[in-house]
Each structure stands twice: as structure tokens, then as C-alpha cells.
Amino acid sequence: MKNVIRVGMADLNVCAHPGILTTLGLGSCVGVALYDPTTKVIGLAHIMLPTSTQAKDSTNPAKFADTAIEKLLEEMEKLGADRTKIVAKLAGGAQMFPFNNSSDMMKIGLRNVLASKKKLQELNIPVVAEDTGGNYGRTIELDSGNGRLRIKTIGHGVKEI
């Protein structure tokens, strides 16, 4: 039986093969799914905010795109993953409520996606697939067997990337 590990909001986890990492109900948050096809080590972070530099209190690295991705890579390396082989998939970053003002709340999803991509680019991790944006929530499951990311929604179908 496969080991299914749940990742909460502002949380991250890694897993050696065979295993599944899942996070439920991603809204504006972004799920950063990392996979090393050579060792089948996987990692998943559920990030809430783009960057730790703007936050007043940043004790939890899993909360921010920049610090979460670094931490995730470190944890995967502890399980034997090869950083140079790791690829990334992104999901989430929706805008749940159609705010029409220009507050920060408005584009937080988009900013989370952009910050994740920027950090991954800095670290030379290619983003091989993504399912981001829109106005709906997503539940995602990352499978160590093939690195597929399964995305479930309400009213917008199920897909795999």
C-alpha cells in the first residue's frame, strides 16, 4: 500500500518512493510539486505568500514561495534526490472571490505563482507543467511512481499534468 501524506496550508513534506503527497483545497495558495525522476523522491509545498522579505513574522519557511522551495529541496536531498534532476509542477494560485478593488488580496494568487516560478528559475529547476489561475479551488496529489500531478476541482473536472 502506498504511503499517502497530507500537506496542510503553509506546510511542506517530502517522501521516498513509493508514496503520494496530497494537499486539499488550494485556493490562492500554490502547490509546488517537485519530482526527481531518477530516485523518485517527491516533495510538495503548500505556499500562502510570495516572499518572506515582506512579512513581519517569518518563522515558518513553508509559508512563503522563496523559503519553502529552498527548504523542500534540502529535505528532498536528505532522501537522496539529485537537485540537478528535479523538475517542478505548479497548481493553484486562483482568485477565489472576484474583488474589484486594487487591494493586495486581489492578485495574491497570481503573485504566488510568479514568485514560485522566479525562485525555481533562480535554482535552475524547470517548471514542466502547471495548472494555475482561474477562480476555483484545487486538490492535488503527487505520485512518486511517475511524477504525475492529479488535480481535482469542483465543477472544473479532474486532470493530470
Partner 1 sequence: MVFRIDELNSMHIDVLKEIGNVGAGNAVTALAKMLNKRIEMNVPEVKILEFREVSDILGGAEIPVIGVLLNVSGDLTGSIMFIFEINAAREIVSLLIGSQNCETEEFSELEISAIKEVGNILAGSYLSALFELTGLKTVSSVPYIAIDMAGAILSVPAIEFGKSGDKVLYIATEFSDGDTKVKGDFFLVLDVDSFETLLKVLGVVN
- Footprint on this chain of partner 1 (rule: CB under 8 A): 8-11, 24-29, 48-49, 54-57, 59-60, 63, 94, 96-99, 101, 103, 105, 108, 135-139, 152, 154-155
Spatial distance between the Cα atoms of 58 and 144, rounded to a whole number of angstroms = 30
Least distance CB 37 / partner 1 (angstroms): 28
Q: Which is nearer to partner 1, 36 or 66 (CB)?
A: 66
Q: Which is nearer to partner 1, 32 or 86 (CB)?
A: 32
Q: Which is nearer to partner 1, 49 or 125 (CB)?
A: 49
Q: Is 29 a catalytic residue?
A: yes
Residue 158 exposed, middle or buried by CB count within 10 Å (0-12, 13-18, 19+): exposed
Least distance CB 118 / partner 1 (angstroms): 19
- Of the candidates 7, 15, 29, 30, the residue annotated as catalytic is 29
Residue 51: how many CB atoms within 10 A of its CB?
16
Torsion of CA 47, 51, 55, 57, to 10 degrees: 60
Residue 134: how many CB atoms within 10 A of its CB?
15
Would you please indicate which residues are annotated as catalytic (active-site) residues?
29
